[in-house]
Amino acid sequence: MSIAVDHPAVLLLLLLALLPFVATMLAASGHPSLAAVPRDGLSVFADATLRVAAAVAIAAIVLGLAGIHRRQQLIERQGRGAHIVLLIDRSASMDNSFAGRSPTGEDESKSAAARRLIADFVARRPHDRIGIAAFSSSPMPVVALTDHHAVVQAAIGVIDRPGLASTDVGRGLMLAMTMVEEGTPDAPRAVVLVSDGAAVIDRRVQAALQDAATRAPVNLYWLFLRTRGSRSIFEPPATGELDTPQANPERHLHLFLSRLGLPYHAFEATSPAAVQQAIAEIDRQEARPLRYFEHVPRRDLAGPAYATALIGVMLLLAAKLAERGLAAERGLAAERAASRQKRRETMREVA
């Protein structure tokens, strides 16, 4: 619990809470000597209660005026999830359907399917810290790892907008590995590459990726949105066909990624349904124990403070209504009225 106030200077008024101990809210009545009043436990108790009630009421109002609240805080919790960077291909070919054509009517473009399914994926994983990177001819950091999924969803929302030039997977992966490293060191980390193609990875970038993989272990997933008719990444090419990175970059990217020494899974999807299955599989595998932080918003405590003050004042009011003057004093008032009356009569008689 971390309690704070907005206006600390107002707390000086708390000194007013001492007032009930030096003054009383009951009427003073004339009495020759307090020593004449017998000591009475109940009276002492009632007196103390009323003074405390008044002090509490004053203190509570002052706290309320000072804007007492429980501070917004982060609470560490244990859950299941991971720190995930989604690396998304924004090249122009993603705008085509799985059949490799411009999407018409029933068809869904690869990017639209990816957008829909990734948005679901993120929505199902509330505890994850998620980052988004995009790549085409160059890598682009979009959203650094964050707990705020609204901005992540906003970045996923643009995936099906028209894509850019070509595909440079290598530098994109390098960026994603760097971004995911920025998370908490002991959190489970994953990079999910969503692309519909690959290109030859520069030898220098290959070396850099190998370094990054050795330095910071991450779980690597490749969701390959295969256009129907193109070659699979899992099958070696038929005899007589070239098996080089230039001829078949996707298969060689797969081979390169499996050689990195990281936990690596490739999923090949040739339809939105297959993409959904693959994402569900990633969802299942990335449920590792994770410490995450939950935001507890600021909570206003001025209301409860005023309620406390209200109870205190009600107590005082009850005492006030039950108040009776001392018998002597009541008699005194009556005597005074009588003597005034008598004086007036005397005056009239004299006149």
Partner 1 sequence: MVRFRDLRLGLLVAALVALGVALAGPSWTLPRTAYDFIIVVDITGSMNARDYTLDGRPTSRLDAAKRDVRGLIAQVSCRSRVGLGVFAERRSFLLFEPVELCVNFSAVDEAIAALDWRMGWEGDSHVASGLLRALEIARDLDVDLVFLTDGHEAPPLPASGPPAFEGEPGKVRGLVVGVGETKPVPIPKFDDTGREIGFWSAADVPHENRSGAPPTDASSRPGWHPRNAPFGAADLTGNEHLTAVREDHLQALARETGLGYVRLAEDASLPTELAAQARRRLIGTSVDLRPLPAALALAALVMILAGLPVIETFRIRRRPPDWSVVERKK
* Binds partner 1 (CB under 8 A): choice among 43, 320, 344, 346: 320
Q: How many residues belong to the site for partner 1 (CB under 8 A)?
A: 63
For the chain, strand residue ranges (E) read 3-5, 68-70, 73-81, 83-89, 129-135, 139-146, 189-195, 219-225, 264-269, 288-296, 299-300
Contact 135, 164 (CB under 8 A): no
For the CB of residue 4, give the shortest distance to partner 1 in the complex, in Å.
16
Contact 8, 66 (CB under 8 A): yes
Nearer to partner 1, 129 or 189 (CB): 129
- Distance separating alpha carbons of residues 235 and 230, to the nearest angstrom: 12
Residue span binding partner 1 (CB under 8 A) among the ranges 69-77, 94-102, 132-140, 260-268 = 132-140
Q: Report H helices in 124-259.
A: 149-156, 169-181, 203-215, 249-259
What is the DSSP code (8-state) at residue 236? P
Among 164, 166, 172, residue whose Cα is nearest residue 134: 172
- Distance separating alpha carbons of residues 143 and 176, to the nearest angstrom: 11
Give the dihedral sign, CA 273/276/282/283. negative
* Binds partner 1 (CB under 8 A): choice among 333, 341, 344, 346: 333
- Distance separating alpha carbons of residues 309 and 312, to the nearest angstrom: 5
- Distance separating alpha carbons of residues 259 and 213, to the nearest angstrom: 10
Is residue 25 close enough to count as binding partner 1 by CB under 8 A? Answer: yes
Nearer to partner 1, 42 or 150 (CB): 150
Nearer to partner 1, 37 or 310 (CB): 310
Map the footprint of partner 1 across residues 39-58, applying CB under 8 A.
54, 57-58
Could you give the C-alpha distances from 16 to 64, 69, 154, 307, in angstroms and in order? 14, 21, 52, 19
Per-residue mark of binding to partner 1, 273-302 (x: CB under 8 A)? -----------------------------x
The three-state secondary structure class of 208 is helix
For the CB of residue 265, give the shortest distance to partner 1 in the complex, in Å.
27
Nearer to partner 1, 15 or 273 (CB): 15
Could you give the C-alpha distances from 10 to 3, 67, 224, in angstroms and in order? 15, 9, 62
Residue span binding partner 1 (CB under 8 A) among the ranges 73-81, 94-102, 142-150, 275-283 = 142-150
Residue 102, amino acid: S
Per-residue mark of binding to partner 1, 59-88 (x: CB under 8 A)? --xx-xx-----------------------
Residue span binding partner 1 (CB under 8 A) among the ranges 97-105, 108-116, 129-137, 260-268 = 129-137
Is residue 158 close enough to count as binding partner 1 by CB under 8 A? Answer: yes
* Binds partner 1 (CB under 8 A): choice among 146, 232, 258, 270: 146
Is residue 13 close enough to count as binding partner 1 by CB under 8 A? Answer: yes
Is residue 317 close enough to count as binding partner 1 by CB under 8 A? Answer: yes
Is residue 140 close enough to count as binding partner 1 by CB under 8 A? Answer: yes
* Binds partner 1 (CB under 8 A): choice among 77, 101, 148, 259: 148
Is residue 303 close enough to count as binding partner 1 by CB under 8 A? Answer: yes
* Binds partner 1 (CB under 8 A): choice among 207, 314, 344, 346: 314
Nearer to partner 1, 241 or 300 (CB): 300
Contact 84, 283 (CB under 8 A): no
DSSP string, 302-316: HHHHHHHHHHHHHHH
Chain residues that interact with partner 1, rule: CB under 8 A: 13, 16, 19-20, 23-30, 54, 57-58, 61-62, 64-65, 90, 132, 134, 136-144, 146, 148, 150-151, 154-155, 157-158, 161, 164-165, 204, 302-303, 306-307, 309-310, 313-314, 316-317, 320-321, 323, 325, 329, 332-333, 335-336, 339
